[in-house]
């Protein structure tokens, strides 16, 4: 769930955002539908130089009985403590980790690696995958693969990789890149960006070797039902919790 001004939103290639509904109501719905985890990203917190909406995190957490990851505007261990106290199980860090890689180690030592999800927004430019910050607004020139390997060494417990080229397009995940990432690290890799049908999820697991697949618009706008998706994946011999 990408959240802006307290509302769930969804765009294409990180722009042209449209409203997808009330964040608290959607969270409750997804927990009821059988989602395995919920990822809540306050997508303008870093760009607007403010903290994640803590009160909204508290309201969402009360509706959930599944793991809850929160990201957006996190730059210190204190920020993480506030969010965990508000009901988050894990935190997602992105821009702040690139600017200060030591933050990954600091958080892992204080809260445990299992709590630290490194979110990476990357775009393929002229055949090279570059890391982007501030909700995809700022190119860093940093190589995606080098950054992910370094992040694992620093203590990241999971990688949430979003392909900006695929985001919102519904043309499938970046499977060639996913498998390369999966072979480079020994921590779970979450695929994000590009889900359009059930086959795309299966491809992310089978071809991309992803450990999990994240999607937004196909669920927000009721194009794919979570129970139906899980049943489909089971027919493909992909382990799912039903």
What are the residue numbers of the active site? 2, 121
- DSSP, res 9: E
Burial class of residue 71, CB neighbours in 10 A (0-12, 13-18, 19+): buried
Separation of CA 23 from chain center? 16
Tokens of 70: 């929160």
3-state class (DSSP) for residue 152: helix
Angle (CA) 89-170-96 rounded to 5° is 40
Alpha-carbon distance of 10 to 6, in angstroms, equals 13
Angle (CA) 57-62-65 rounded to 5° is 110
> Torsions phi, psi of 203, nearest 5?
-60, -40
3-state class (DSSP) for residue 186: coil
8 A C-beta contact, residue 39 and residue 160: yes
């Amino acid at each position: 769930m990408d959240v802006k001004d307290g509302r769930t939103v969804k765009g294409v290639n990180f722009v042209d955002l449209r409203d997808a509904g009330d964040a608290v109501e959607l969270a409750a719905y997804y927990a009821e539908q059988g989602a395995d985890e919920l990822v809540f990203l306050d997508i303008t917190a870093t760009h607007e130089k403010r903290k994640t909406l803590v009160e909204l995190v508290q309201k969402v957490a009360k509706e959930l009985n599944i793991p809850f990851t929160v990201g957006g505007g996190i730059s210190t261990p204190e920020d993480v403590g506030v969010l965990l106290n508000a009901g988050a199980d894990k935190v997602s860090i992105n821009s702040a980790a690139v600017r200060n890689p030591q933050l990954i180690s600091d958080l892992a030592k204080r809260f445990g690696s299992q709590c630290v999800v490194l979110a990476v927004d990357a775009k393929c430019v002229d055949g090279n995958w570059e890391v982007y910050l501030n909700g995809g607004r700022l190119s860093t020139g940093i190589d995606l693969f080098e950054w992910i390997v370094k992040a694992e060494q620093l203590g990241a417990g999971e990688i949430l990789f979003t392909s900006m080229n695929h985001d919102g397009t519904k043309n499938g995940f970046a499977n060639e890149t996913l498998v390369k990432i999966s072979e480079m690290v020994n921590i779970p890799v979450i695929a994000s960006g590009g889900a359009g049908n059930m086959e795309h999820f299966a491809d992310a697991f089978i071809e991309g070797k992803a450990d999990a697949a994240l999607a937004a618009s196909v669920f927000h706008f009721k194009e794919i039902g979570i129970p139906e998706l899980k049943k489909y994946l089971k027919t493909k011999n992909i382990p799912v919790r039903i």
